[in-house]
């Protein structure tokens, strides 16, 4: 497209997509689990979920219930409030259309503690 033309079509005026909550949650959960030096099966067993389900949560594939999120948070020794704050802070730190990185989540969790 020549430099003097503006794009047309349905995507021309859309702002970048916001990151999804489930993606940011998954990154924070994985970051916290790895920070503890645990493998999926250890955390999943304590949380009472299957390793496959926890993996799907961490990858942002599942839209987990609040009960599931609380169970995994408890297994990681964090409160639901601290986890929620960490996820929200990681979303605020990421520009729209980008994914917050793990260290952002870790820093957010440190702020919540």
In the chain, the domains with their CATH numbers are: 21-112 (1.10.260.40)
The string of pLDDT tens digits covering residues 17-48 is: 778 999 999 999 999 999 999 999 999 999 99
Q: Are 62 and 33 in contact (CB under 8 A)?
A: no
The string of pLDDT tens digits covering residues 54-106 is: 999 999 999 999 999 999 999 999 999 999 999 999 988 866 555 545 445 55
Number of Cβ atoms within 10 Å of the Cβ of 6: 7
Number of Cβ atoms within 10 Å of the Cβ of 11: 7
Residue 51 CA to residue 57 CA, distance in Å, equals 10
Which of 85, 93, 92, 91 has its CA nearest to residue 111? Answer: 85
Does this model's pTM top 0.85? My answer is no
CA 81 from centre of chain: 15
Q: Which helix (H) or strand (E) holds 16?
A: none
Q: Which residue has the tokens 């949650």?
A: 25
């Amino acid at each position: 497209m020549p430099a003097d033309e503006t794009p047309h079509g349905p995507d021309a005026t859309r702002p970048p997509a916001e990151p999804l909550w489930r993606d940011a949650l998954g990154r924070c959960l994985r970051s916290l689990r790895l920070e503890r030096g645990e493998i999926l099966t250890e955390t999943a067993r304590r949380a009472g979920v299957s390793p496959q389900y926890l993996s799907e949560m961490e990858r942002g594939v599942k839209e987990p219930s609040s009960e599931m999120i609380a169970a995994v948070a408890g297994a990681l020794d964090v409160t639901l409030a601290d986890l929620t704050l960490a996820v929200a802070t990681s979303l605020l730190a990421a520009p729209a259309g980008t994914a917050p990185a793990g260290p952002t989540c870790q820093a957010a969790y440190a702020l919540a503690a």
